C-alpha cells in the first residue's frame, strides 16, 4: 500500500446562500458551507489545522489559518466521517474557496489533505 493510500482524507462540500443574513445593498453576502471529512486511508489520524483561501469576484483574497475546525480537532479512525458547518462573508455575490487540512496520523506522519475549490454563489447569479 502506498503512502498516498495509507494517509488519505476525502473532503466533500455543500454550500448555501444565507439571504436572511445578507445585505446586498451594503455588499455583504453571507454563505454557509457544510464539510464532510472522511478518513479513507488506513491509519487513524487527527485534523490539526486548517488553511482557507477565500476569493471574491473582485479578486479580494482572505486567508484563514487556525487550529482544527469549529473549535474541534476531530480524530478519525479509517472509515469514520466528521461533518461540520461554518460560514464565509463576501463583498460580492459570487466567490470561491479552497484550502488544506493538516493531519497527524497515529504513527507520527503529518500530511496535507487538500480541500478542492468550491463556489459560493447567490442563487441565479451563475448560469
Q: For residue 126, what pLDDT is reported?
A: 61
Instruction: Report the mean per-residue pLDDT for the chain.
Output: 95
Is residue 37 within 8 A of residue 48, CB to CB? The reply is no
Q: What residue segments make up the domains of the chain, in order of their start?
A: 3-120
Residue 34: beta bridge partners? 14, 85
Is the per-residue pLDDT at 119 higher than 90?
Answer: yes
Pick the CATH number of 3-120 from 3.40.630.40, 1.10.10.60, 3.40.50.2300, 2.60.40.1470: 2.60.40.1470
pLDDT digits (tens, 9 = 90+) for 10-62: 999 999 999 999 999 999 999 999 999 999 999 999 999 999 999 999 999 99
Is the per-residue pLDDT at 127 higher than 60?
Answer: no
Q: Which of 115, 92, 117 is nearest to 30 (CA)?
A: 92
Q: What's this model's pTM, rounded to 2 decimal places?
A: 0.91
Amino acid at each position: 500500500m502506498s503512502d498516498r493510500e495509507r494517509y488519505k482524507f476525502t473532503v466533500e462540500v455543500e454550500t448555501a446562500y444565507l439571504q436572511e443574513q445578507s445585505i446586498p445593498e451594503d455588499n455583504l453576502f453571507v454563505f454557509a458551507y457544510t464539510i464532510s471529512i472522511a478518513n479513507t486511508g488506513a491509519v487513524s489520524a487527527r485534523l490539526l489545522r486548517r488553511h482557507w483561501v477565500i476569493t471574491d469576484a473582485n479578486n479580494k483574497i482572505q486567508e484563514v489559518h487556525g487550529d482544527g475546525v469549529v473549535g474541534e480537532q476531530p480524530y478519525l479512525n479509517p472509515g469514520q466521517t466528521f461533518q461540520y458547518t461554518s460560514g464565509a462573508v463576501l463583498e460580492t455575490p459570487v466567490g470561491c474557496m479552497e484550502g488544506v487540512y493538516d493531519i497527524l496520523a497515529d504513527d507520527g506522519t503529518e500530511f496535507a489533505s487538500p480541500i478542492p475549490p468550491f463556489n459560493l454563489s447567490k442563487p441565479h447569479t451563475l448560469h
